[in-house]
Amino acid sequence: MQSANYHLCQGNDAGMFVTVWAATLDYNTGKLTYVNAGHNPPLLRHNGSWQWLRKRGGLFLGSFDLAKYRSETVYLERGDQLLLYTDGVTEAFSPNEEQYGEQRLERYLYQHASDHPHALVDGLRADVAAWANGAEQSDDITLLSMEFGVAPEVTGTITVPAKVDQLERVLHFIHNELGKRLCPIAVQNQMDIALEELFVNVCNYAYADKNEPGTCTVDYVYNANPHAMTIQLSDQGVPFDPLGHGDPSLPTSIEDAQVGGLGIYMTRRLVDDLSYVRDGDTNIVAFHKTW
């Protein structure tokens, strides 16, 4: 860190600087050695509780060439989780010019203490975007999360034309992974219904103003402990939030039932979590299912 700071100071007439949080992790012992050079304090989840790693090791890099830095050490245990972020998260402004802030970040983490890294990052990103609600982004937003000592995630991705006749291909792609993981058929059927509803929504609405269909990218992340899969659908179509209309009024009898409007309602009840975020020019909808 001292060397990096020294070289960044050379010829730095513009007075530019950079904050850095850097660490090394010994996978065998769980020893995490880190230096914080003026960066936002990360958070560490230990025994289900989040704590701030607030100790600073020195000034931001590029300040003056003889700055000194010191390291800190913590020992991670199996299941401990680390969250790193840039200040674009805590300094995200709402339309009323109120910052997201550290307290709101901490509250979100406590409410989602059992989320694995992929779900935590996706959910937090969506929460910050919902807070901003279209307000201009004040700074870059970068998130990184790591869980120590657990089985690695398995990921996959496929991009297909946003056409209903591609649904079978998408389902086969997901079934191939679920089959390897011995996912119960009942759970597979529930995920099929959710995936079909969301994929057909993309096909019907995302590119309705285009002469040619665009594409839909389907990503999955599988975790082994506990068995769970997160499936995410992304498209570059018109802004469309399938979750934005709330639950429909349920009919009191079969005679009162109307076609349509119940797909998302049913999807919410078949999965553990369902979310939507508009990220730049991309619609992202995701669901999570545990078995």
CATH code (residue 246): 3.30.565.10
Same domain, 139 and 263: no
User: Which residues, 6+ apart, have CB-to-CB distance to 159 below 8 Å?
Assistant: 215, 216, 217, 218
pLDDT at position 243 over 80:
yes
pLDDT at 135 over 80: yes
Last residue of a domain, one of 123, 147, 171: 147
Mean local confidence (pLDDT), 269-289: 93
Residues 97 and 113 in one domain: yes
- pLDDT band at residue 255 under the 50/70/90 scheme: low
* Whether residue 229 sits in one domain with residue 134: no
Average pLDDT, the chain: 91
What is the extent of the structural domain holding 105? 2-147
Residue type at 210 in one-letter notation: K
* Tally of domains in the chain: 2
Q: What is the pLDDT of residue 257?
A: 41
- Residue 40 and residue 163 share a domain: no
Length of the chain in terms of residues written: 291
Among candidate residues 77, 56, 57, the one with its CA nearest the CA of residue 68: 57
Residue 29, phi then psi, degrees to nearest 5: -105, -15
Instruction: Supply the pLDDT for residue 167.
Output: 97
**pLDDT grade for 259, boundaries at 50, 70 and 90:** very low
Q: How confident is the model at residue 43 (pLDDT cuts 50, 70, 90)?
A: very high
Looking at the structure, tell me whether residues 102 and 204 fall in a common domain: no
- Could you tell me if 281 and 185 lie in one domain? yes
256 and 163 share one domain: yes
Mean pLDDT over 98-108 rounds to 96
**CA atoms of 105 and 124, how far apart (whole Å):** 8
Residues 136 and 176 in one domain: no
Same domain, 30 and 123: yes
Q: Do 165 and 274 lie in a common domain?
A: yes
pLDDT at 250 over 60: no
Q: Between vectors from CA 210 to CA 203 and to CA 129, what angle results, nearest 5°?
A: 65
pLDDT for residue 254 is more than 50:
no
**Any idea what the CATH number is for the domain that residue 135 is in?**
3.60.40.10
Beta bridge partners of 36: 21
What DSSP line would sit under 1-17, residue for residue? -HHHHHHHHTT-TT---
Verdict on whether the full-model pTM lies above 0.85: no
- The answer to whether the bond into 226 is cis (omega within 30° of 0) is yes
Domain check: are 6 and 141 in the same one? yes
Note the pLDDT tens digit of each residue in 212-230: 889 999 999 998 878 999 9
Residues 127 and 37 both lie in one domain: yes
* Domain boundary residue, one of 147, 180, 212: 147
> pLDDT tens across 148-187, in order?
987 778 999 999 999 999 999 999 999 999 999 999 999 9
Candidate from 52-66, 80-94, 238-252 with smallest mean pLDDT: 238-252
The last residue of a domain, from among 94, 121, 147: 147
